[in-house]
Amino acid sequence: IYHFCINIVMASLKETWCTPHLISDPFGHLHCVHTPLISWITNLPEQLLISCMSVKHSPISTSNSRHFGNPTPQPICSQELTLNTIEKVCSLVNANKINLFHKKCKTMHLNGVTEPFWRDWGMADPSIFLTPDALHNWHKFYYDHVLKWVINIIGGPELDLRLSALQPRVGVHHWSQGISQIKQCTGREHCELKKVLIAVSAGAVSNDALCALRAITDFIFLAQSLLHTGKIMHTMNEALRQFYHYKGSIFQAGGQRGAKKNLLKHFEIPKLELMHHVEWSIKLLGAPFQWTSDITERCHITLVKTPYRGSNHRDFHGQCCRFLDRQEK
């Protein structure tokens, strides 16, 4: 249904990809333009839905859960490869036999979509237009995994004590009550955490574990650069390589644990695998900072949540629009 609906909504853009149309810019000037699909900014679950891949698979490459913790990246899963796989499954099993078709799709790492909306959109390739999203792929990853590794190694109370002992500084978030008991943070707080977590962990974790934590932090900071020179790209790749070299120390310290606090002996983290392809995306489309969803997520607060709080929670659509109209005036 998702792909069917998107196909209807994007029909005019697909047509403009083939036949240029006159479109006015903000200054009223007319331009003859094409509309290729360059970037689709979204989180990992929707990336899998768009790329037609199953849950335990990469939306960008041919990796599955067994490869997520490997230091060597897998080949890119191109548009042609995905469409050929879908065609192969359809030739083996009738798509109308839903149960059998879905089972066969799972064996081929597909989610069961037979007609992706991007199949006839020029050269649209999910492995290219599913660009790295700093908010979900890096900031949220850091909070969900790297922070948990530190908490599991040194303990929540110790980390909270170290964070609260830091001297408050202007422009830097101060964790006066710690962070181990916080259930939800904003993207801004995720970014602030990366500035202090390595420093407060020093001395409480082994040197090798600290090297792994610092390496993954360096990679995230370097990936957010506004300009990526050859030197920066090399340093970024070396940081990722260093993380994989020292990641075993996190296992030894008991940092990698499951939901039930049981020790895990793997790094089957999809977002970690996606980091292998950041350099490839940068070379094709430029710096990832332009594709982050920070702006749209912030707009969800200022343009939706705030007006909703000022409404009577009934027939709020019109009230929210009226609120925004008054704000503009």
Residue of 182 and 108 predicted with greater confidence? 108
Nearest residue to 306 via CA among 318, 328, 324, 325: 324
pLDDT in tens, 140-194: 999 999 999 999 999 999 999 999 988 888 888 888 888 888 877 777 888 888 8
Nearest residue to 163 via CA among 212, 172, 153, 171: 172
DSSP 24: E
Tell me which H or E stretch contains 23: strand 21-24
Threshold 0.75, pTM exceeds? yes
pLDDT in tens, 66-103: 889 899 999 999 999 999 999 999 999 998 888 999 99
Contact 130, 59 (CB under 8 A): yes
To the nearest 10 degrees (0 to 180), the angle between helices 230-246 and 207-223 is 150
Nearest residue to 46 via CA among 137, 147, 138: 137
